[in-house]
């Protein structure tokens, strides 16, 4: 086994695209992040684009452009990748990968670097190719506008506190502005009031992700999120995408039930493991 690091996301995609697109749904997160990074004029200072080879055959790929190292491939690659990453001196907060692979890498990383790891969460990745139309809630979906940014920023902060409390805080106003200006964020509006949101992210050649699904607690149970996700997913399919994907926390049966009723089907489980640095 040998690990190869790439200087740019474009170089990584040129080498790894065929490998990743062989399983576009499972690899949608890596593909989408690499695609976005390849188009960015201001990439994050600390990012990783790597592939692991067995001879000339690619057996796995890794991307870090955020909190987790995202990993795909065979568990046999983890020792070589972990050692190669330790040699770079980079700090890894955690890993997110299909279950067996995530556990194997977490063990290899902590063995090579010291420290410990613990499970953050287990999520399912869902795929949708046709919407099962729900009974829509009152109101309608509309694209978010600049006037909505303060509201959306607060909702993103609440979403992160609820769904990913271990991740570092983000500039939610900047995130809201970026999503709104990119035409990627939608609101369900009832009686002139915004009551739920959903966004699109990480478009690839054939698929797109739906994320940032959030309804304030006092407005839940009225079908707003179901309606927003269903309408947005249908809009994406109508625009030419073959499938939509999304991630959902397995410990949240409400959200997973919503997605199943709309037509999303689970295709794999991902484990997120968080690393604790060794004590000095």
Task: Take residue 2 and report the two structure tokens written for it.
Answer: 């040998």
Residue 111 and residue 161 in one domain: no
What is the pairing mode between strands 243-249 and 207-214? parallel
Residue 105 and residue 151 in one domain: no
Is residue 43's pLDDT more than 80? no
Give me the sign of the Cα torsion angle 244, 24, 260, 104. negative
What is the pairing mode between strands 243-249 and 94-98? unpaired
Report the number of distinct structural domains present in the chain.
2
**Number of residues that this document lists for the chain:** 280
Residue 206 and residue 100 in one domain: no
Residue pLDDT, tens place only, 237-265: 999 999 999 999 888 888 888 899 999 99
Residue 116 and residue 160 in one domain: no
Q: Which domain holds residue 220?
A: 131-262
pLDDT of residue 136: 95
Contact 191, 149 (CB under 8 A): no
- How many angstroms separate the CA atoms of 213 and 155, rounded? 10
Residue 181 and residue 228 in one domain: yes
pLDDT of residue 279: 55
Residue 191 and residue 255 in one domain: yes
Average pLDDT, the chain: 90
Residue pLDDT, tens place only, 91-133: 888 999 998 899 999 999 999 888 888 888 888 999 999 999 9
Q: Which element (helix H / strand E) includes 140?
A: strand 140-143
CATH number of the CATH domain containing 95: 3.40.630
**Full-model pTM:** 0.85
CATH number of the CATH domain containing 159: 3.40.630.30
Residue 106 and residue 193 in one domain: no
Residue 23 and residue 102 in one domain: yes
Residue 178 and residue 62 in one domain: no
pLDDT of residue 252: 83
Is residue 280's pLDDT more than 60? no
Residue pLDDT, tens place only, 53-94: 998 999 999 998 677 899 999 888 899 999 999 998 888 889
- How many angstroms separate the CA atoms of 218 and 216, rounded? 6
Residue 66 and residue 91 in one domain: yes
DSSP 8-state secondary structure symbol assigned to residue 137: P
Is residue 165's pLDDT more than 80? no
Residue 135 and residue 256 in one domain: yes
């Amino acid at each position: 086994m040998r690990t190869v690091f790439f200087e740019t996301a474009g170089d990584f995609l040129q080498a790894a695209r065929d490998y990743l697109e062989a399983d576009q749904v499972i690899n949608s997160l890596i593909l989408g992040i690499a695609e976005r990074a390849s188009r960015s004029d201001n990439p994050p200072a600390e990012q990783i684009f790597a592939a692991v080879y067995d001879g000339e055959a690619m057996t796995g790929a890794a991307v870090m452009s955020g909190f987790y190292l995202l990993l795909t491939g065979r568990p046999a690659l983890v020792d070589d990748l972990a050692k190669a990453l330790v040699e770079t001196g980079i700090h890894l907060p955690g890993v997110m990968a299909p279950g067996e692979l995530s556990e194997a890498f977490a063990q290899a990383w902590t063995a090579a670097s010291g420290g410990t790891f613990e499970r953050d969460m287990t999520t399912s990745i869902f795929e949708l190719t046709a919407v099962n139309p729900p009974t829509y809630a009152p109101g309608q979906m509309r694209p978010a506008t600049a006037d909505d940014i303060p509201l959306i920023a607060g909702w993103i902060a609440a979403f992160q506190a609820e769904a990913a409390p271990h991740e570092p805080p983000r500039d939610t106003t900047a995130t809201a502005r970026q999503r709104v200006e990119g035409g990627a964020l939608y609101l369900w509006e009832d009686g002139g009031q915004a009551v739920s949101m959903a966004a699109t992210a990480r478009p690839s050649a054939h698929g797109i992700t739906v994320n940032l699904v959030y309804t304030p607690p006092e407005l839940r149970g009225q079908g707003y999120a179901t309606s927003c996700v269903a309408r947005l997913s249908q809009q994406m399919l109508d625009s030419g995408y073959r499938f939509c994907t999304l991630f959902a926390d397995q410990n949240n049966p409400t959200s997973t039930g919503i997605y199943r009723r709309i037509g999303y089907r689970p295709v794999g489980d991902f484990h997120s493991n968080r690393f604790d640095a060794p004590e000095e």
